[in-house]
Chain A
Amino acid sequence: MAQDVLVVGELADGQLSSVTEELLGAATRIADGGKVSVTLLGSAAPGAAAGAFAAGADRACVSGDAAYDEFRSDQWLAAVEAALDQTGAAAVLIAQSGVGRDLGPRLAFRRNTAVAMDCIRVENVDGGLRATRSAYGGNAHATYSFATSPAVVTVRAKSQDPIEARAGASGETVELPAAAASRTEITGREAAVAEGLQIEDAAIVVSGGRGLGAPEGFKAVEELAAALGSDKAAVGASRAACDLGWYPPSQQVGLTGKVVTPDLYIAVAISGASQHMAGCSGSKTIVAINRDPEANIFKSARFGIVGDYKAILPELVNAIKALD
Chain B
Amino acid sequence: MHLVVCAKQIPDPETPPAAFRIDSAKNEVIPAQGIAPVLSPFDAQAAEAALRIKEKAGDGKVTVISLGQESAQAAIKQVLAMGADEGVLLSDDAFQGGDSYSTAHALAAAIKKLGDVDAVFCGRQAADWDMGQVGIGIAEELGWPVAIIAKDAQADGGSMVVQRVLADGFETVKMPLPAVVTVSNELGDPRYPKLQQIMQAARKTVTTWGPADLGVDASEIGAAGSRLKLEKLFQPESGAEVELMEGETPAEQAQALAKALRDAKII
Contact = CB atoms under 8 A, between A and B. Distances in A.
Direct contact of A and B (CB under 8 A): yes
B171 A147 contact: no
B266 to A, nearest CB: 5
Interface in B245-267: 245, 249-251, 253-255, 257-262, 264, 266-267
Tell me the dominant secondary structure on chain B's binding face.
mixed
Interface stretch (B49-57, B88-96, B236-244): B236-244
A300 B238 CA distance: 7
Interface in B133-154: 133, 136-137, 139-141, 145-149
Interface residues of B, number: 79
A303 B260 contact: yes
Contacts of B258: 316, 319-320, 322-323
A285 B266 contact: yes
A81 B251 CA distance: 60
Tell me the dominant secondary structure on chain A's binding face.
mixed
Nearest to B186: A249
Given A106-B136, A315-B250, A140 B235 contact: yes
B255 A315 contact: yes
B157 interface: no
Interface of B: 11, 13, 15, 17, 20, 22, 29, 99-101, 104, 124-125, 127-133, 136-137, 139-141, 145-149, 161, 165-176, 184-186, 226-236, 238-240, 242-245, 249-251, 253-255, 257-262, 264, 266-267
Interface of A: 73-74, 97-98, 101-102, 104-106, 108-110, 112-118, 130, 134-148, 183-193, 204, 228, 239, 243, 249-250, 255-256, 258, 263-264, 274-275, 284-288, 293, 296, 298-308, 311-312, 315-316, 318-320, 322-323
29 contacts: A73-B146, A97-B167, A105-B100, A106-B136, A114-B100, A116-B131, A117-B130, A135-B130, A136-B13, A137-B127, A137-B130, A140-B236, A141-B235, A144-B229, A146-B228, A147-B227, A183-B145, A189-B170, A239-B185, A243-B185, A249-B186, A302-B243, A303-B243, A304-B242, A304-B243, A305-B245, A308-B250, A316-B257, A323-B262
